[in-house]
């Protein structure tokens, strides 16, 4: 029997012998496949897709911009937004009272919405739904949600930098206020306005008074000014230099703060759309010819195995 079943003509012999049965089974399989793949039994689905390139996205590690974009697209925030926006619990006919309804919902979501990288470092976003317009709207909303998610992440990081810059700015401002108060006191109390210029003028005044031999009153004033410069001139000079240095640092930090603030408030987009989504006019699922083919092959194969088993059993009994 083993040699017989392995012969090249065994299948042809069975096919000729049971040709009517094969024909009947084939017809029944085709008819059933056509009927049960009808819209009445299997709700058709339409596919909409978009191809986008990442832009203005800064990867957090060694991943590429496309990989970073896919990570964002697969985030729970975007998934939950789409579920809520399109009421997918009701749309997918999921019993929200069931214990594991959330797992079922996520499974349905992942079986209808896909993201993948292309060989050109772009990202393809696909959505399938029984309504072609809804599938298109889903893709558009995913892109919008991606832009919002990326913008929020960037603003969170920028906000941290902004806080650091603001703290440094406030510190420098307090330093400047303190130095300015000290300088005002030196100007008012000791009449020191410009150490270098005043020192030169006092010396000139001394020379002039001494050479003329007159003006004891002026000499007294010059003595007071000279004493003030000797006692407080160095302090004034140091604090003025420190004030100028702090003011320069303050201006630098202020520029950095303003730039960070501008970055935080920019309304950037993070996708460059290469192929925009559109409502499909042709269903993507089910593929009826494939269902018919699989049904035809599987039923004939099953019949063949039954006939082989029948023939084998018959020969054993004989």
CB 34 within 8 A of CB 295: no
Q: Using one digit for the tens of pLDDT, what is the confidence trace for 137-151? A: 999 999 999 999 988
Q: Give the residue among 138, 133, 140 at the shortest CA–CA distance from 108.
A: 138
The answer to the question of residue 215 being in a domain is: yes
165 & 257 share domain: yes
Same-domain check for residues 163 and 230: yes
Average pLDDT over the chain reads 80
**Element housing 93 (H / E):** none
| pLDDT for the residue numbered 158 | 86
Please indicate, yes or no, if residue 163 is contained in any of the structural domains: yes
Q: For the chain, what percent of residues have pLDDT higher than 90?
A: 27
Q: Is residue 112 part of a domain?
A: no
Residue 234, in any domain of the structure: yes
If asked whether residues 164 and 257 sit together in one domain, one would say yes
Tell me 60's DSSP state.
S
User: Do residues 67 and 118 lie in contact, with contact meaning Cβ atoms separated by under 8 Å?
Assistant: no
Question: Could you tell me if 205 and 296 lie in one domain?
Answer: no
Asked whether residue 227 falls in the same domain as residue 304, the answer is no
Distance, CA of 25 to CA of 137 (rounded, Å): 44
Asked if 202 and 290 sit in the same domain, the reply is no
Comparing 111 with 23, the larger pLDDT belongs to 111
Strand order in 271-275's β-sheet?
A: 113-117, 123-129, 46-54, 271-275
> How many structural domains is the chain composed of?
2
Decide if 72 is inside a domain: no
Say if residues 139 and 126 touch (Cβ distance below 8 Å): yes
Q: What sign for the dihedral angle of Cα 252, 257, 258, 262? A: positive
209: which 2 tokens?
């008074």
In a domain, 253, yes or no: yes
Write out the two tokens for 78: 């975007």
- Domain coverage including residue 247: 159-264
Torsion angle of C-alpha atoms 265, 262, 52, 114, degrees rounded to 10: -40
- Do 257 and 167 lie in one domain? The reply is yes
- C-alpha closest to that of 63 among 73, 53, 55, 71: 71
| Domain shared by 207 and 295, yes or no | no
Q: Are residues 296 and 260 in the same domain?
A: no
Model confidence, pTM: 0.66
Strand 271-275, strand 46-54: pairing: antiparallel
Residue 121 forms part of a structural domain: no
What's the pLDDT score for residue 309? 77
In this predicted structure, what is the pLDDT of residue 218? Answer: 56
Q: Are 172 and 260 members of one domain?
A: yes
Encode pLDDT of 157-180 as tens digits.
888 888 999 999 999 999 999 888
127 lies in some domain? no
pLDDT > 50? residue 5: no
């Amino acid at each position: 029997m083993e040699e017989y079943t392995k012969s090249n003509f065994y299948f042809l012999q069975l096919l000729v012998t049971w040709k009517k049965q094969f024909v009947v089974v084939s017809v029944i399989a085709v008819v059933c496949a056509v009927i049960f793949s009808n819209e009445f039994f299997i709700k058709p689905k339409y596919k909409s897709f978009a191809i986008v390139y990442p832009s203005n996205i800064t990867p957090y590690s060694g991943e590429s911009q496309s990989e970073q974009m896919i990570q964002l697209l697969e985030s729970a925030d975007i998934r939950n937004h789409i579920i809520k926006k399109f009421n997918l619990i009701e749309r997918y006919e999921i019993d929200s009272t069931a214990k594991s309804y959330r797992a079922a919902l996520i499974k349905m979501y992942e079986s209808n919405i896909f993201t993948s990288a292309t060989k050109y470092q772009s990202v393809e976003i696909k959505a399938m739904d029984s309504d072609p317009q809804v599938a298109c709207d889903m893709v558009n909303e995913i892109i919008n949600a991606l832009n919002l998610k990326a913008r929020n992440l960037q603003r969170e990081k920028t906000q941290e930098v902004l806080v650091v810059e603001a703290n440094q700015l406030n510190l420098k401002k307090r330093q400047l206020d303190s130095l300015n108060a000290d300088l005002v006191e030196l100007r008012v109390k000791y009449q020191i306005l410009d150490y270098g210029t005043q020192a030169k003028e006092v010396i000139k005044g001394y020379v002039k008074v001494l050479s003329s031999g007159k003006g004891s009153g002026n000499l007294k004033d010059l003595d007071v000014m000279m004493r003030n410069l000797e006692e407080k001139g160095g302090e004034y000079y140091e604090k003025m230099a420190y004030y100028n240095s702090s003011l320069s640092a303050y201006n630098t930090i202020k520029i950095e703060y303003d730039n960070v603030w501008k970055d935080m408030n920019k309304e950037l987009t993070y996708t460059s759309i290469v192929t925009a989504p559109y409502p499909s006019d042709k269903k993507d699922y089910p593929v009826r010819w494939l269902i018919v083919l699989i049904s035809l092959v599987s039923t004939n194969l099953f019949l063949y195995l039954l006939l082989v088993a029948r023939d084998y059993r018959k020969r054993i009994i004989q």
